[in-house]
Amino acid sequence: MDDRTPVVGVSQEDRVAALGALEKLGATGACYVSQVLPKPPITTVLRDAADPAAWTDLYMARALSLTWFRVDPTMKLVLGAAYGCELEFWQPDRNADVLRAPRRNRMMPAVSMAGVPVEAGEHRFTRLAAATKRGPRFRTRPEFDHALPDDIDFPIDVVYTWVDGADPEWQRRRAEVKGEAFHAEAASESRYINRDELKYSLRSLHLNAPWVRNIYIVTDRQRPSWLDLSAGNIFVVDHEEIFTDRSALPTFNSVAIESQLHNIDGLAEHFLYLNDDMFFGRPLAPQTFFLANGSTKFFLSQNRVPIGPITSLDTPIDAMIKNNRRLIEERFGRTLTQGSQHVPYPLRRSILAEIEREFPAEHARTARSQFRSATDIIITYSLHHYYAFLTGRALPGHVNYGYVQLAVPDLVARLKRAEARRDWDTFCINDAFSTYTQLQQQMAVLEPFLEAYFPVPSPYESAGQR
């Protein structure tokens, strides 16, 4: 049932031969063995597989695990027992002419003793492998080579928006526009600070979501100096390529940019939208974000948006959600009160296009808003999810989610906790109020944390970086 753990099934009749072969294998390298079933009183005990006594104790085990520890070159990332290979002993039932499984799996409690082995793609054995990608094939039984109702077989892409606020040319364009934000947070230069979070977000994506097809980085005539596009599935998309109204450019309004994401050429119908400060904390299956019938999931925040008109006390996000609220009330007669967690947003191109057609005036006004405005609607963070839910194409989801605000006095303690426990599915390291004078101090803390959490370079970094 675990997407990280491969399992080999062996007939109980072959137990002695299998254990003998594994004992020889264990003596050839640093291998560890442990009992899985029956569940031992202490589950973390690993025995040296080169020790014959370890195998004697496993004589009656119905399932066991072999672990070869793997580390990255920096010795910071360790793949341990959770990534070991498990062995199950299936019990022959001669009366029924089947082999019965010792525990549950996703497919069958028993297989025919007369079955002929077949080869199946890796997506049959782990949801971390995409059915749309060509990969290795493995020996199995025909009973396991079937698509289940919750299997996702459509491609899923990822879209980032990114800006380098230290770029002099970008700063010049921004100064020329001379727009005024309605709230201090909207004008904060911390919104544009580049700490190379994108590099580490891509590392987290490559490590923990290998089922992603293509990656699109949407930016304003910029490109990270370390970025390597030679992998073939990552693309830089300029604002001019997606804005249908070129007169709205240049823009420095993230929600305006987000309103145009469905215009990316070649983008899959289903995609995840990320800010560059969002990270995948551990391996996640695509079912975390989508249903096999194509529906999306959404992840509501526990914060509540005040009822009533927009006031000067509203944050930019709350003001835009209030605009969303009015549209949802007029269209569906429901009042939304919550925003979303800062996690990767599952989206559909067709629904984004439908929202543009359904609310043309509000959509166009937001697209033309060069800085965040009290008249904007916020689509990827809120409106898409409620609109999709109320039209039967989305459901609430759940992730174990972490949020770290950089401008807090206990930043070091929070990051140390996150690195030590690594129990977040996704997390966001956000900053809305820091200034450039605080950047150096934050980088001294943030960069070592990200490097320790994601030490393995992705294929999207230049050779020098890798």
Residue 94's φ and ψ, nearest 5 degrees, are -65, -35
Residue 435, pLDDT score: 63
Residue 442, pLDDT score: 78
Residue 74, pLDDT score: 77
Residue 187, pLDDT score: 44
What is the SS3 assignment for 214? Answer: coil
What is the value of pTM for the model shown? 0.92
Pick the CATH number of 171-453 from 3.30.420, 1.10.260, 3.90.550, 3.40.50: 3.90.550
Q: What is the per-residue pLDDT across 167-206, written as a single tens digit (0 to 9) for each?
A: 888 888 888 886 544 444 444 455 455 678 999 999 999 9
Q: What is the per-residue pLDDT across 242-281, written as a single tens digit (0 to 9) for each?
A: 999 999 999 999 999 999 999 999 999 999 999 999 999 9
CA distance 212 to 222: 24
CA distance 112 to 100: 9
Residue 182, pLDDT score: 43
End-to-end CA gap in the chain: 34
Residues in the chain with pLDDT values less than 70: 178-194, 432-437, 440, 465-466
CA distance 12 to 217: 52
Lookup: tokens for 64: 């066991």
- The residues spanned by each domain of the chain are 7-115, 171-453
Contact of 274 with 201, CB cutoff 8 Å: yes
DSSP code per residue over 2-57: -TT--EEEEEGGGHHHHHHHHHHHHTTTT-EEEEEESPPSSTT--EETT-HHHHHH
